[in-house]
Amino acid sequence: MTHDHVRIFDTTMRDGEQSPGAAMTMADKIEIARQLDAMGVDVIEAGFPAASNGDFESVRAVGAVLENAVLCGLSRAGPKDIERCAEAIKSAKRFRIHTFISTSPIHRKHKLNMEAHQVLDAVTASVTLARKFTDDVEWSAEDATRTERDFLKRCVEAAIRAGATTINIPDTVGYSFPDEYRDLFRDLIQSVPGADKAIFSAHCHNDLGLAVANSIAAVQGGARQIECAVNGLGERAGNAALEEIVMAFRVRGADLPYQTNIDSPQLMRVSQTVARVTGFPVQFNKAIVGKNAFSHESGIHQDGMLKHTETYEIMRPEDVGQGATSLVMGKLSGRHAFKKKLEELGYTLADNALNDAFQRFKELCDRKRHVFDEDIVALVDDQIAHGDDAIQVSRLRVVAGTEGPQTAEIDLTINGEPVWKTARGNGPVDAIFNAIKEAAPHEADLELYQVHAVTEGTDAQAIVSVRLSADGRSASARASDADTLVASARAYVAALNRLNALGSARISAQHSAA
C-alpha cells in the first residue's frame, strides 16, 4: 500500500506557548526548535512576531538554526502584522507566513465587529500582501467549524485565488466530532473551486478530548497537514498531541495509508524538553510519553508480557524513545564513562558544563544508593535550565518537624551579590518561600507547587514544579534534587528568574542579615 505524506506542523512554541504559564525564553525556543527539526517536523510555527519584540526576536533566532524544517510565523490579517512577520521569518532558509482571520458569525460580531463582506475582503487583501514576501502562505479561518458552510467556502476560495498554498480549517473551540470534521474537509476539497491547488490542514483543540481523533479524521477527509503540539500543550485544554498523532499513523499503518517524516524514537526526548522548559509536567498516564505508558502493574498483565510482549503492547517503548529504566554508574565511575553515558542519552556538553555535571553526579552518588538514567537526565536538564539564572540558591538550611514554627535560612546570589535571609512559615516549604521573598522581594503569587519523584524509592530525586504569576503573566519552572526542600527552593527561584526575564517580577535584592 502506498502511504500519502502527512505534514506535521508543530505549534508548540506558538499555540502551545499561549497556555498560561508556558512562556518560553528565546534559548528555550532554540533548544526545542533544534530537536523538532532533527526529529523531522515539516513546519515549525515559532511565534507571533507582531505580538512583542521578544516574540519577533525568538522567531528570528529559531529561523537561523533550522536545517530542514520550514519556519512559520503567525500574523493577523492587517498589513503591519504581515510585514513584521515577513521581516522575522526571513532568517530561515525556507519560511512561511501564516495569516488568519475569524470567519464564524459569533467572532465576526463580537470579536471583529465586521460584516461578512469585510472579512472576505480582508482574506483577499491579507493573502495577497503575504504573497509579496513568500510563495509559501498559509491562511486560516479562525473558528472555521462554527462558520456558515457557504461563507467558509467563499473565504477558502478567495484565499486560494489570492495565492494561499495551505488552507487551515481550525476547530478553534474544540467543538467538532470526528465524522463532522472529516465530512467538512471532504466537502471543502470537493466543492471549492481551486481546492486542488492547496494543501488542507487540520488544527484541533482538545476541549472535548477529541483533538487527536478529529485530526486523524481530517486526514481521512483529505487534509495533508496536521497542526499539533508536543505533549498536547496549548490554549485551554490544549492542541492535538504531536506524539499521539505520529504513533497512531505508525501503529495503524495498515489501516491508515499515511506517513509522517517523524523519527519516533526522538519523541520522548522532545516531550521531556518541553516539559522542562515550560514547567508543565507530563501526566503519568499520558499516551505515548507518560511515565506509565509502558508499565504493566497487574499480575495478569505482567504474566502475559513475560510470555509475549504483544499480549499487552501495541508498540515498543523504544519506538517512542522510552528506554527501560537502567542502572547506571556509581560513585566509582570516571569522567570518561560519565561523558559516554551523557552522549548515549543525547547530551553533548562543553568542557565546563561537563565538569559541573560530573561534580553534581558525584554528589548525587554520595546521597543516593542507585543512580538511574532518569536521575542523570534530571540532573543535566536542571543544569542546562538554570545554569545562567540571575538568582541562584547557594545554601539552604531548614528546621522542620512537630515543634514549630518551621524556619528556613537561605543564601541567594542575586546578580553575583550574596544575600542571606531567614524566615518562618506554616511548614518548611512555606518558610523557604518566605525566606526567598525576604531576600528577593517581589509581588508574584504562587499558582502551583507540585512534587514528583524521578524514580522509585525513598532516596529518589524530587522534581518540583512551581508556577508564579505577576502583572497578568505567569511563569513555570522545575528543579530537581535528592532533597525535596532544596528542589523546592530552586524551582521557586527558577520561576522567579523566568518571571523576571519576562519583565513581570521586578525583583530587588535585600542586603544585610535578617
Residue numbers at the binding site for Zn ion (CB under 5 A): 15
140 binds, among ligand KIV, Zn ion, none (CB under 5 to 8 A by kind): ligand KIV
CA neighbor of 31 nearest in space, from 277, 348, 343: 277
Pairing between β-strand 462-470 and β-strand 473-481 as defined by DSSP bridges: antiparallel
Interatomic CA distance for residues 438 and 509, integer angstroms = 9
Interatomic CA distance for residues 302 and 305, integer angstroms = 5
Q: Tell me the DSSP string of 83-95.
A: HHHHHHHTTSSSE
Based on the shown chain and the rule CB under 6 A, indicate whether residue 140 belongs to the binding site for ligand KIV.
yes
Based on the shown chain and the rule CB under 6 A, indicate whether residue 15 belongs to the binding site for ligand KIV.
yes
Stretch that binds ligand KIV, among 164-172, 337-345, 414-422, 424-432 (CB under 6 A): 164-172
476 binds, among Zn ion, ligand KIV, none (CB under 5 to 8 A by kind): none
Helix or strand holding residue 9 (H, E): strand 7-10
Q: Per-residue contact track with ligand KIV, 388 to 417, x per CB under 6 A? A: ------------------------------
Residue with cell 524551582: 491
CB of 13 to Zn ion, least distance (A): 13
* Cβ pair 379, 364 in contact under 8 A: yes
Closer residue to ligand KIV (CB): 49 or 170: 170
| End-to-end CA, the chain | 73
Based on the shown chain and the rule CB under 6 A, indicate whether residue 100 belongs to the binding site for ligand KIV.
yes
Residue from 203, 386, 467, 498 that binds ligand KIV (CB under 6 A)? 203
Stretch that binds ligand KIV, among 51-59, 168-176, 285-293, 476-484 (CB under 6 A): 168-176
142 binds, among Zn ion, ligand KIV, none (CB under 5 to 8 A by kind): ligand KIV
3-state secondary structure 309-354: HHHCCCCCHHHHCCCCCCECCCCCCCHHHHHHHHHHCCCCCCHHHH
* Cβ pair 280, 26 in contact under 8 A: no
Based on the shown chain and the rule CB under 6 A, indicate whether residue 372 belongs to the binding site for ligand KIV.
no
Closer residue to ligand KIV (CB): 143 or 481: 143
Give 139's strand partners. Answer: 99, 167
CB of 120 to Zn ion, least distance (A): 22
Residue from 16, 163, 170, 232 that binds ligand KIV (CB under 6 A)? 170
Based on the shown chain and the rule CB under 6 A, indicate whether residue 172 belongs to the binding site for ligand KIV.
yes
Based on the shown chain and the rule CB under 6 A, indicate whether residue 214 belongs to the binding site for ligand KIV.
no
Residue from 42, 55, 136, 142 that binds ligand KIV (CB under 6 A)? 142
Interatomic CA distance for residues 281 and 479, integer angstroms = 12
Stretch that binds ligand KIV, among 165-173, 193-201, 290-298, 378-386 (CB under 6 A): 165-173
Residue with cell 497487574: 298
Closer residue to ligand KIV (CB): 227 or 382: 227
Residues 6+ apart with CB under 8 A from 267: 39, 242, 243, 246, 247, 288, 289, 320, 321
Closer residue to ligand KIV (CB): 100 or 361: 100
Interatomic CA distance for residues 466 and 445, integer angstroms = 11
Closer residue to ligand KIV (CB): 106 or 451: 106
Closer residue to Zn ion (CB): 15 or 374: 15
Closer residue to Zn ion (CB): 72 or 444: 72
Residues interacting with ligand KIV, by CB under 6 A? 15, 100, 140, 142, 168, 170, 172, 203, 205
